[in-house]
Amino acid sequence: MSGIALVRKPGPRIAAGIVTNIRRERVDATLAAHQHDAYVAALEANGWRPVHVEAADELPDAPFVEDTVVVCAGLAVLARPGVPERRPEVDSVAALVRRLGVRSVRVTAPGTLDGGDVLQIGGTIYVGRSARTNDEGIGQLAALLPERRVVPVDLRGVLHLKSAVTALPDGTLIGDPARVDLPGLLEPVEEAGAHVVLLGGERILMAASAPQTAAMLQKRGFIVTTVDISEFEKLEGCVTCLSVLII
């Protein structure tokens, strides 16, 4: 499995990004830029072709490109972020998706949908019912993807569904049972261990801040690449937030 990885470079205002569930810390914009370069290089080394969305330096949360679009079954569902100041991020993503020839449609008011709340596993799509994604947005996503089973999921104390749980290549859910009620959860050692990006085959991408979980998953037969994303973690970001993979 390989394809295109949509990414967007962080701008100089990244330290002003929105923080909701954690204490604000100082973010080093220069270090964030270097970490993003290394993240993109890791995707490329695993066969994904990086395609950069137009820079949006005036929008501090813009590198969290996952929140702007959900790609499924050849359709790009352009999100309507739950925080109004993030909605301008979507237009440039929409323009790029059109250039790539991917059919697209937008979530409309009063629906809200953040891509970070959408977890796709085979024919099932779990969608977090969060402060950023409402029932109308979930309903619109379900109507746009009738061939998929869309399952709303309530969250506790996290920004997005994929802040609490993601899926391994074999379909196993890995996540924090204190944050989300889903059956058969494999519990990570570290909080950041709940976040994995599927790179194809048995390969996964994880944050360097979850070394014990990475070791646990390696023992289960997965091939783990780790990247340091400490500056993005200070903004409630994780490895899934920084890209959208299109096969």
User: Residue 152 forms beta bridges with which residues?
Assistant: 127
State the catalytic residue, choosing from 36, 195, 238, 241.
Answer: 241
- Rounded-to-integer distance, Cα 65 and Cα 63, Å: 5
245 sits in which H/E element:
strand 244-246
- Rounded-to-integer distance, Cα 10 and Cα 76, Å: 23
- Rounded-to-integer distance, Cα 243 and Cα 65, Å: 6
Q: Tell me whether residue 34 is one of the annotated catalytic residues.
A: no
State the catalytic residue, choosing from 34, 36, 160, 195.
Answer: 160
- Candidates 43, 44, 38, 86; CA nearest to 65 is 86
Contact between 5 and 242 (Cβ < 8 Å):
no
Q: Tell me whether residue 160 is one of the annotated catalytic residues.
A: yes
For residue 77, what is the DSSP state?
Answer: E
Catalytic sites, residue numbers: 160, 241
